[in-house]
């Protein structure tokens, strides 16, 4: 427990970029809740759900924006990787005797998507910025909680950092290619303020993207 977070230099640099990009760090109270053995089942079930939803988002973008070759290529790879992560989480749960069942979603993703503009090209720009924020937060949380978990799970979470940081960059670069840096920077500021509230405000139920527990 509490093993130091050892990672390749390139991955560490990517994580530093993510920490600069995010509007705030994950509260210590959330890290404590995630490290609580009593929350392990919820952590893994919700993690599996997040991977599945990430793949679904990528596939949805591929269906909606068929004329964007760069988006199609990046989202195709992203969807495959997220589904592979989903399968890996399911195997970890099976080994630990944790049942994969229904679990209500946190308010995080829904809260971010509520701010997405409805008209194009703003809709695509905002969806990509939100995708970048979600991938960045996921990567940051994997890194934050990994040292507090058992070696098997901690190593697995460390192994996800490289791909999650790449997903963050893919979303961000796609957003800039669609709208340019000025508009994207303004939308990052807009969604960053919203994301900070979602991360720092307390939540009554623990989830992978929840705020600190209210009790």
The pTM of the full predicted model, rounded to 2 decimals, is 0.94
Query: Which class is 9-19+38-200 in CATH?
Result: mainly alpha
DSSP string, 35-88: H-GGGHHHHHHHHHHHHHHHHHHHHHHHHH-TT-HHHHHHHHHHHHHHHHHHHH
Per-domain boundaries in the chain: 9-19+38-200
Is a pLDDT exceeding 60 seen at residue 120? yes
Residues 34 and 70: their CA atoms lie apart, in Å, by 36
User: pLDDT per residue over 129-162, tens digit each?
Assistant: 999 999 999 999 999 999 999 999 999 999 999 9
* Torsional class of 55: left (φ above 0), alpha (ψ -120 to 50), beta (otherwise): alpha
Contact 144, 26 (CB under 8 A): yes
User: pLDDT per residue over 35-62, tens digit each?
Assistant: 999 999 999 999 999 999 999 999 999 9
């Amino acid at each position: 427990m509490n093993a130091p977070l050892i990672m390749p230099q390139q991955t560490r640099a990517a994580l530093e970029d993510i920490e600069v990009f995010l509007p705030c760090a994950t509260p210590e109270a959330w890290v404590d809740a995630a490290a609580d053995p009593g929350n392990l089942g919820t952590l893994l079930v919700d993690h599996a759900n997040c991977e599945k939803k990430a793949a679904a988002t990528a596939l949805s973008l591929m269906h909606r924006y068929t004329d964007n070759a760069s988006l199609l290529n990046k989202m195709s790879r992203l969807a495959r990787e997220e589904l592979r992560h989903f399968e890996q989480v399911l195997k970890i749960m099976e080994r630990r005797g944790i049942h994969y069942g229904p679990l209500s979603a946190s308010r995080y993703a829904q809260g971010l998507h509520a701010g997405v503009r409805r008209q194009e090209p703003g809709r695509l720009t905002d969806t990509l910025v939100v995708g970048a924020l979600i991938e960045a937060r996921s990567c940051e949380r994997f890194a934050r909680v990994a040292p507090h978990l058992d070696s098997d799970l901690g190593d697995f979470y460390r192994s996800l950092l490289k791909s999650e940081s790449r997903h963050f960059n893919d979303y961000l670069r796609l957003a800039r290619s669609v709208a340019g840096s000025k508009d994207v920077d303004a939308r990052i500021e807009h969604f960053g303020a919203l994301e900070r509230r979602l991360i720092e405000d307390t939540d009554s139920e623990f989830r992978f993207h929840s705020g600190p527990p209210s009790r």
